[in-house]
Amino acid sequence: MLKKLLCTLLFIGLFVPSAMAQSGTVKGKVIDSRNGETIPGANVLLVELERGAATGPNGSFTIEDVPSGTYTLRVTFVGYAAYEQQVEIGAGETLNKNIKLKPSKIGLEEVVVTGYGEVDESEFTGSVSQVSTNDIEGIPVSSISQSLQGKSTGLQISSVSGTPGSVQDVNIRGISSINASNNPLYVIDGVPVKSGEVQASGATSSLGLMASLNSSNISNISVLKGAAATAQYGARGSNGVIVITTKDGSAGETNYSFSMQRGTSQRAVDGPEPLSASQWDELYREARVNAGLAPSMSAAQSPWDGQTNTNWGDVATDDNAVTEEYNISASGGSENSTYYASINYMQQEGLNKTTGLKRVNARLNYSYDFAENITLSNKLSGSYVNQNGMLEGAAYFGNPAMAKYFMLPIDKVYNKDGSYNIDGLSNQVYHPLYILENNINRKRTDRVVNNTTLEIDVSENLIFTSKLGLDYVTNEEKYYDNPNHGDAAVENGSISDYYTRNFNWVWQNKLDYSLSVSANHQLDFKLLQEAQQNKYYTIQAAGENLATTGLPNLASTGKPTYAYSYSDDWSTLGFMGSVKYGYQDKAFIDGTYRYEGNSRFAPGNRWGSFWSVGSTYILSKESFFQDMDWLSFLKVRGSYGVTGNASIGLNEYQSFLSYGGSYNGQAAVSPAQLGNERLTWEKATSMEGALEFGFFNRINGGITYFYKKSTDLLYDVPLSRTTGHNERRSNVGSLYNRGLEGNLSIDVIQSDDYQWNVGGNITLVENKITELPEYANGENIIITGSYKHTAVEGYSIGTWHMPKWAGVDSQTGKPLWYVNGKDGATTSDYSKAKAAYQGASAMPTTYGSINSRLSVKGFYAEASLYYSFGNKVYDIWADYMTSDGQYVGFFNQYQSQYKNRWQEPGDKADNPQIIWGGNNQSNSLSSRYLYDGDYLRLQTLRFGYNVPSSFLSNLNVGVKSASIYFVGRNLWTYAYDEDLQYDPEVNDSGYLDFYAAPLETYTVGIKANF
């Protein structure tokens, strides 16, 4: 009876509601097709109903009360290809869908974050590369820009120093300016921020502001290239824009995430070997004999004790440099508020003892809906970065990277009593370990970035947004030089303290208006006003004559020597308007205009106009392509426009007297700058055309041609020094960068349990200077340097220009150079060897990466190979280390000098005869020290395992997902030029200099959500 009743009730329960409301439910889970991780915050929509839901922390969603019928279910999330499927929902039915979203490098329906808004990628007329959180999270690098290397076409990133936290060189689509900055604009959560570094000393390791960011907080990085993409930033868009977006919370229960990783580092590239003591001894004697200073090898006494054999490169090396990082985050929200909060701690030790970086970063992103149409959101991030660095980047006597080659192997590291041998060294270079342990070389950066956004939906299609961004950075630098040994031994120790503050604020007011003229015609308008101001201040003091050792503050200096403060500021004001027209979701045209003023130019030349037009056409949406099943996507796009660059020093339009000098305790005045009232914007006219395609839903790719012509270059025109000035900034000359960018991603295997993707990208860039200013006599004003020509018409920026090495005369052992600098006749007289173009510049012409990822059930393995070709690099200190006798007695030498030297007639050798005093000038500037810079590097190797969620739920400990992984960084490097033993990755200067070696890092990590 009871049973019957229940059955009846059940029967009623099933049929009565449907008979009344005819509705059903769609629910399910959204997961990453690659690693099976759930995706919170994805947008699930029943298109026809315009009803949807966001997925909760564990990726699940529910849409209730769905009238029965057939709908298009559409799921979108940043960084993934959109998912669309027809679903049929019967009355009273609950449809359970598990949806796998495919991560997409060139997503089919991806959203592009431009900083001023979001645009569907298919509608975007410009060039953008998006890097998702998967690409950068867990990579053991201290600075996010390092992890971007190879991830985007057109983006070239090079690290100079291996010291954790140091600044990277970042160029987008080549070098577009000779003298103004080539750094892109960085935008975080819609607000342009300070980039580069905030530090007063140039002699020590650099500490970049990118090191203050925590990669785990980042949901997306967009690299904007070309006119249409960067036009909204118009005035500052010439060098490209890097837009960083941090994570937001989403409504639902709180999701906690924890990750940690730990590992060790060693040298990625060892660099040339110095001589051992016995080799040095042999060279020493041979040099003396060859110079006629000793009758025989045995008679030539060298100062070697016959036992000591020190490799000074090893003395200060930390063989167990630890890297570790911990992240905890929580995100969630309610109906009208969401939050994301995180704490991060990172520590990376450098390869030179005592060097390294520590970072603490915390973030709170909070959003609150005041009313149905008003949202207030705030993104706050605070960070503390401590870098212990060293003197590097030049032959400072206290540079540990230089000690390896300059210090003699015959010198002992320790005295008999175990103390450091600081008094018995053969030359002036300082004991590297003593210096590292007894000096302080420290930078501490505190940074707070806060963005407050008020968004008001004035009407259904008019949105007003006001945003205030604050970026506050302070940097403390402390340099303590001990009184016993090193740079300050004479002064009995010295201390320098620098404090620098940079405050940057941006205020944006924006109106977005969208208008559907008809079903086929859509118009979007945007109006923006933006003001920005940057204020910089530094105060510095130094003293010497220390009362004791180990007290790091100026209070313990006996004699103050230096007091200084300085401040400057700059400001910009911009107005921007844009309009976008869309036809049937398949063809789009947009236009942008920006009018901007900049305090770097004189009134009258302050304002510039920048604009772009772009269009795109999604051919695959046309009916005539619908039949071609193999073609999943096809789009053409193109853009044309003018952007600007004003990244020069401040106040350069003004002629100045400097009051910074002093003479005999009195303030001294000197003319410091010859200004130029006519100075104005450098402009870049860009055009691009691109094709994006997808075949069989497996092969996605794109190819882009770009041409960017920079005119009115902000150029330091050299002056006759008789004016008392070296140069004056002027707008002269032009150059272009043109090239091709290509990317391809192939899903070779695509099944539920097995996935294998192979992909890669390539960028080809050609740089050429087309016009330079002229002197009165009609000759071009070129900028030459001793090693290379910075700017010569018809050549790339920074072409190597020097005499060409022709080897060693096998009969005489003398050096040879080509007379004309190219080929043919040779000479052993350096003064007769002409300097000539050596066939390459310091900048790579081809770069990119090859990637592969294999996943089998929960296991995955991925590798990323970075490559860079087409440049040459120059070893600027080789003249000391292959001195052919000139410095043998004073400094150590490269081992190559020993192994391949001329000794008797007939010897075929790379290095001339070693003669004490070495006056044959063989080590003078020539292509002898110029190497091909081409290289390949196994940049990232990752293995991991995602614990199945079924297993985790059975455990019932609240863990929703967990993964464990291994990451190797810079595991293998191949330099094409076998003579190039240094790390081939150098910055745009092309100079191999004494920097800390790059890190090869191995880490293991775990990540869990609960």
Partner 1 sequence: MKNLTRFLVGLLVVAGLSACSNFLDPSTKQNKETDKSIQDVSDLQSLILGAYDRMNDTNYYGRDFVVYGAVRTDNAFSNAFSGRFIDPSEYTMNYNSGYALGTWDKIYEVIANANLVIKSDVPNSPKVEYVKGQAYAIRALAHMDLLRLFGQTYVSGDDRGVPYITTYAEGNTTPSRGTVAETWQKIGQDLKKADEMMSPSLDAGSGGGIDPTTITTVAVNALRARYFLNVGEYDKAEREAEEVIQSGKVGLASASNYVSTWGSDGSSNTIFELAFTGSDDNELSYIYLDTNYGDIELTPELYNLYGANDVRNELMFVDSDSSSYRTSKYPDPNGTSNVQVIRYAEVILIYAEALARTNEPAAALTQLNKIPNHRNASTYSSATIDNILLERRKELAMEGFRFYDLARNNRDIVRSVSGHNINIPYGSSELAFPIPKSELDVNPNLSQNKGYGGS
Length, in residues, of the chain? 1010
Region binding partner 1 by CB under 8 A among candidate stretches 135-143, 161-169, 342-350, 592-600 = 592-600
Nearest distance from C-beta of residue 778 to partner 1, angstroms = 9
Nearest distance from C-beta of residue 510 to partner 1, angstroms = 10
3-state secondary structure of 996: coil
Q: Which amino acid is at 765?
A: V
- Which sign does the torsion angle of CA 618, 623, 626, 627 carry? negative
Nearest distance from C-beta of residue 346 to partner 1, angstroms = 37
Q: Is 527 in the site for partner 1 (CB under 8 A)?
A: yes
Q: Is 573 in the site for partner 1 (CB under 8 A)?
A: yes
Q: Which of 304, 480, 681, 887 binds partner 1 (CB under 8 A)?
A: 887
Nearest distance from C-beta of residue 772 to partner 1, angstroms = 12
Q: Is 428 in the site for partner 1 (CB under 8 A)?
A: yes
Q: Is 916 in the site for partner 1 (CB under 8 A)?
A: yes
How far apart CA 108 and CA 633 sit, in angstroms, is: 7
Q: DSSP letter at 911?
A: B
How far apart CA 109 and CA 99 sit, in angstroms, is: 16
Nearest distance from C-beta of residue 190 to partner 1, angstroms = 17
Walk across the sheet containing 83-89 and list its strands: 51-54, 43-46, 69-76, 83-89
Q: Is 893 in the site for partner 1 (CB under 8 A)?
A: no
Q: Which of 831, 950, 954, 956 binds partner 1 (CB under 8 A)?
A: 831
Q: Which amino acid is at 760?
A: G
Comparing C-alpha atoms, which of 449, 454, 216, 471 is closest to residue 331?
A: 216
Site for partner 1 in 465-504 (CB under 8 A): 466, 490-491
Q: Is 295 in the site for partner 1 (CB under 8 A)?
A: no
Q: Is 604 in the site for partner 1 (CB under 8 A)?
A: no
Spell out the residues 6+ positions from residue 103 whose beta carbon is closer than 8 angstroms to its own.
32, 33, 34, 79, 80, 81, 132, 134
Q: Which of 14, 21, 668, 748 binds partner 1 (CB under 8 A)?
A: 668
Q: Which of 88, 568, 622, 904 binds partner 1 (CB under 8 A)?
A: 568
Nearest distance from C-beta of residue 295 to partner 1, angstroms = 16
The mark string for 966-1005 relative to partner 1 (x by CB under 8 A, - otherwise) is ----------------------------------------
Spell out the residues 6+ positions from residue 909 whose beta carbon is closer than 8 angstroms to its own.
808, 810, 813, 900, 901, 902, 903
3-state secondary structure of 283: helix
Region binding partner 1 by CB under 8 A among candidate stretches 140-148, 630-638, 751-759, 915-923 = 915-923
Q: Is 672 in the site for partner 1 (CB under 8 A)?
A: yes
Spell out the residues 6+ positions from residue 957 whose beta carbon is closer than 8 angstroms to its own.
1010
Toward partner 1, which CB reaches closer, 657 or 955?
657
How many residues contact partner 1, by CB under 8 A? Answer: 85
Region binding partner 1 by CB under 8 A among candidate stretches 235-243, 300-308, 661-669, 984-992 = 661-669
How far apart CA 443 and CA 199 sit, in angstroms, is: 8
Give residue for tokens 């005119």. Answer: 711
Q: Which amino acid is at 331?
A: S
Q: Is 623 in the site for partner 1 (CB under 8 A)?
A: no
Spell out the residues 6+ positions from residue 428 whose beta carbon is closer than 8 angstroms to its own.
397
Q: Is 886 in the site for partner 1 (CB under 8 A)?
A: yes
Site for partner 1 in 65-94 (CB under 8 A): none
Structure tokens at 110: 């991806």
Structure tokens at 733: 């000359």
Q: Is 775 in the site for partner 1 (CB under 8 A)?
A: yes
Q: Which of 781, 909, 959, 1004 binds partner 1 (CB under 8 A)?
A: 781
Nearest distance from C-beta of residue 49 to partner 1, angstroms = 28
Structure tokens at 540: 């510095």
How far apart CA 852 and CA 746 sit, in angstroms, is: 9
Q: Which of 15, 370, 659, 754 binds partner 1 (CB under 8 A)?
A: 659
Comparing C-alpha atoms, which of 992, 989, 829, 1008 is closest to residue 924?
A: 829
Region binding partner 1 by CB under 8 A among candidate stretches 75-83, 523-531, 585-593, 950-958 = 523-531
How far apart CA 642 and CA 467 sit, in angstroms, is: 26
Nearest distance from C-beta of residue 651 to partner 1, angstroms = 6
Relative to beta strand 440-459, strand 462-481 is antiparallel
Toward partner 1, which CB reaches closer, 880 or 929?
880
Site for partner 1 in 547-566 (CB under 8 A): 559, 561-562, 566
Q: What pairs with residue 592 in β-bridges?
A: 578, 612
Region binding partner 1 by CB under 8 A among candidate stretches 36-44, 76-84, 334-342, 665-673 = 665-673
Toward partner 1, which CB reaches closer, 803 or 933?
803
828-835: Cβ within 8 A, 24+ apart = 828/920, 830/803, 830/920, 830/921, 830/924, 830/926, 833/803, 833/804, 833/926, 834/803, 835/801, 835/802, 835/803
Site for partner 1 in 26-65 (CB under 8 A): none
Site for partner 1 in 918-957 (CB under 8 A): 919, 921
Toward partner 1, which CB reaches closer, 649 or 689?
649
Q: Is 836 in the site for partner 1 (CB under 8 A)?
A: no
Q: Which of 600, 801, 853, 928 binds partner 1 (CB under 8 A)?
A: 600
Q: DSSP letter at 833?
A: P
Nearest distance from C-beta of residue 988 to partner 1, angstroms = 22
